[in-house]
Amino acid sequence: VSRALNAAKRDLVNAKTVVRIVRAAESLGYQPNPIARSLKTAKTNTIGVILPDLTNPLFPPIVRGIEDVLQPAGYTSLIVNTDNDPGREESLVQSLRSRQVDGFIIATALMDHPLLDELHRQGVPLVMVNRRPHHLNVSCVSPDDAHGAELAVRHLASLGHRRIAQLAGPSNTSTGLARSAAFHSTMKTLGIEDPPQLTYTCDYWTEESGAQGLRSLLDSGVEFTAVVAGNDLIALGCYDVLAERRLSCPDDLSVVGFNDMPFVDKVRPALTTIAIPSAQIGAEAARVLIETIDDPTRTPRSVWLPSSLVIRSSTMAPVVRDSLVTATA
Amino acid sequence: VSRALNAAKRDLVNAKTVVRIVRAAESLGYQPNPIARSLKTAKTNTIGVILPDLTNPLFPPIVRGIEDVLQPAGYTSLIVNTDNDPGREESLVQSLRSRQVDGFIIATALMDHPLLDELHRQGVPLVMVNRRPHHLNVSCVSPDDAHGAELAVRHLASLGHRRIAQLAGPSNTSTGLARSAAFHSTMKTLGIEDPPQLTYTCDYWTEESGAQGLRSLLDSGVEFTAVVAGNDLIALGCYDVLAERRLSCPDDLSVVGFNDMPFVDKVRPALTTIAIPSAQIGAEAARVLIETIDDPTRTPRSVWLPSSLVIRSSTMAPVVRDSLVTATA
DNA sequence: CTGAAAGCGCTAACAA
DNA sequence: TTGTTAGCGCTTTCAG
């Protein structure tokens, strides 16, 4: 019966018998019990998905992408939130391992990540999303952060901005580092002055952190007409500070975000930002993970998905102030 | 060993033996295998969470609330998206049942729902969230929709509005019905004229549907100075139409939403809306479900959580136009 | 091609 | 209080 009902081994059994068995199974309303199967095969067809926080609008689309691939492949995902708490993360991973998940998709990795090391050493199939810890040889899928940051800077430059500040994401994340590095190298390429005072590194990927960053920049007295934010949340934090100081975006300050989160087209002003293909990122991560599970010896893959500039209303040519520069747009 | 390691039966065994066993287990790095346990106990400690779409910002906070209760209680949740497709929903529920989930939290229920009937009949523990199919005797937890709609109407009325339109949510959802009914009864209570032409019932809880509704209202030629939307997405759809017709909110039209989704405080103008305690709703649903699992004979509970008015910038007193009415605010 | 039987890791019933 | 054993529902040898 087991052979007849299992599509993969069905050919080991007489076609007529198969029919007979299938018919009987149907008439009895038989449903295989995946628990018993898992016990025998040591495979649960279950994937642990580790997120910082599902409530961050960045993640639901990624999760949808993951599920869109996992479900048809017969996998179920267990989604957990770490709230960026390494302790919580560790216990969640532990708990998922004891639940015998077949692999992990991890979107929380910091640069330095003992847990990852361990999973990797133990040969647990895993793929990182949005993060790439360079010293580890694991599969990663993320947007092209460097190209995205470059697009942001070039957009601003083409608008005529020459004093461009950066509110970088946390430097303990590969994303923060990659975007920031690309910011600096693009500034250099374009021959725009890029003094350290114009970069503030946020502690978190949050509005509060972004707000704090812009306040600090504004208070420092450096001049700048535009800011590129590490992500959309940081950019929205800028909006708050601008409102609180009665400054206008984009008249007083152009701001560009990163991620093109849902609803940033509805904020005021609609946010110019770098769009990333969230669903594809999730889908690709799931695909890579399944490949890794099917063939654990496969060499890890690193995939970058293209990011693109979405111009909306939060950027414009700098307004001329006690200076003779003429805006070009 | 089993007895010693199981907290509940630990007292059936000599304290010294327990210590010895626990120590041994630790030194061996023993981890109980939940699969094997499930096979024996026919309990998976797993809950199916059925959502229309995780990508709708309404749900992540609810999911967080659910998990905050489920996790500590030793349950894991399996989250699935139906995309409002009944076929997909059925197959997902089927698949979760075959995975032997211990219960369901369902946020997708339409008024008429054969699947629910069946689950209920079979005695599967389940609780509905945000929906309450009145003919079924199942546990529900939802915001107080009626009170919320009443708050919305009263707010507008107190601002001086007398021509208040409604963009109701779909009438195949209990939520849509409840809010709409409360809208009408409040209008009546306040003695405000409430002709049928001022209510448009949207087909979906989406921006597109809301936009279509407002267009239809505007094109019909009825006069109105305010609109209460079935939810925030519908309200945001109004924003789109207002922009496309070069009308201003709140000057030309006040709009109030429902749900206080994340980021509606950041849209322009910041949306006046009815806040619902999403996380608590999720948490309470999880609690009720656990109680139902622990004691299946328990009588179903219906809980309403309070909704409250959040006044922001999308509502103001009606501007006087070719009329002698004086605004009171 | 089919049947029989062992055993995955656990719990619960029973016996001592 | 502890030891022994059957068996949850499946897959997979191994024999026929």
State the best of B35, B98, B314 to mutate against chain A, taking most chain A CBs within 10 Å. B35
For residue B323, give how far its alpha carbon lies from the nearest alpha carbon of chain A (Å): 33
Contact A55 B38 (CB under 8 A): no
Model pTM?
A: 0.91
Q: Pick from B5, B41, B8, B31: which is nearest to B293 by CA?
A: B41
Task: List the single residue in A with minimal CA-CA distance to B77.
Answer: A78
DSSP state string for B274-310: EE--HHHHHHHHHHHHHHHHH-TTSPP-EEEE--EEE
Instruction: Report the distance separating Cα B230 and Cα B183, nearest Å.
Output: 10
A-chain residues near B67 (CB < 8 A) = 80-81
DSSP bridge pairs for B47: B77, B103
- In this prediction, residue A189 has a pLDDT band, given cuts at 50, 70 and 90, of very high
Over 90: is that where the pLDDT of A137 sits? Answer: no
The residue-averaged pLDDT of A100-107 equals 94
pLDDT in tens, A112-134: 677 788 888 888 999 999 988 77
Over 50: is that where the pLDDT of A324 sits? Answer: no
- The A residues from 28 to 67 touching B (CB cutoff 8 Å) are 31-36, 38-39, 44, 53-55, 57, 60-61, 63-64, 67
Instruction: Report the distance separating Cα B157 and Cα B151, nearest Å.
Output: 10
Tell me what percent of the residues of chain A surpass a pLDDT of 70: 96
Q: Pick from B66, B131, B126: which is nearest to B284 by CA?
A: B66
Assess whether the previous peptide bond of A143 is cis (omega < 30° from 0).
no
DSSP bridge pairs for B228: B166, B256
Instruction: Report the distance separating Cα B97 and Cα B92, nearest Å.
Output: 8
Interface check for A314 against chain B (CB to CB < 8 A): the answer is no
pLDDT in tens, A266-280: 888 999 999 999 999
DSSP classification of residue A40: H
Contact A269 B268 (CB under 8 A): yes
pLDDT of residue B111: 60
Q: Pick from A326, A309, A312: which is nearest to A154 by CA?
A: A309
Q: Pick from A222, A13, A258, A221: which is nearest to A238 by CA?
A: A258
Amino acid at B112: D
The spacing between the Cα labelled CA in B128 and the C1' in C3, in angstroms, equals 48
Over 50: is that where the pLDDT of A328 sits? Answer: no
Q: Pick from B144, B81, B134: which is nearest to B110 by CA?
A: B134
Per DSSP, the three-state class of A250 is coil
Q: Pick from B121, B138, B140, B139: which is nearest to B130 by CA?
A: B140
The residue-averaged pLDDT of A234-257 equals 96
- In this prediction, residue A135 has a pLDDT band, given cuts at 50, 70 and 90, of confident
Residue A109: how many CB atoms within 10 A of its CB?
25
The residue-averaged pLDDT of A15-41 equals 89
| Average pLDDT across chain A, whole number | 92
pLDDT in tens, A200-219: 999 999 999 999 999 999 99
Over 60: is that where the pLDDT of B249 sits? Answer: yes
Asked if residues A318 and A160 have their Cβ atoms less than 8 Å apart, the reply is: yes
Task: List the single residue in B with minimal CA-CA distance to A75.
Answer: B95
For residue A97, give how far its alpha carbon lies from the nearest alpha carbon of chain B (Å): 10
pLDDT in tens, B47-102: 999 999 999 999 999 999 999 999 999 999 999 999 988 889 988 998 899 899 99
Over 80: is that where the pLDDT of B327 sits? Answer: no
pLDDT of residue B321: 63
C-alpha of B69 from chain center: 17
The residue-averaged pLDDT of B165-175 equals 95
- In this prediction, residue B157 has a pLDDT band, given cuts at 50, 70 and 90, of very high
Over 80: is that where the pLDDT of B232 sits? Answer: yes
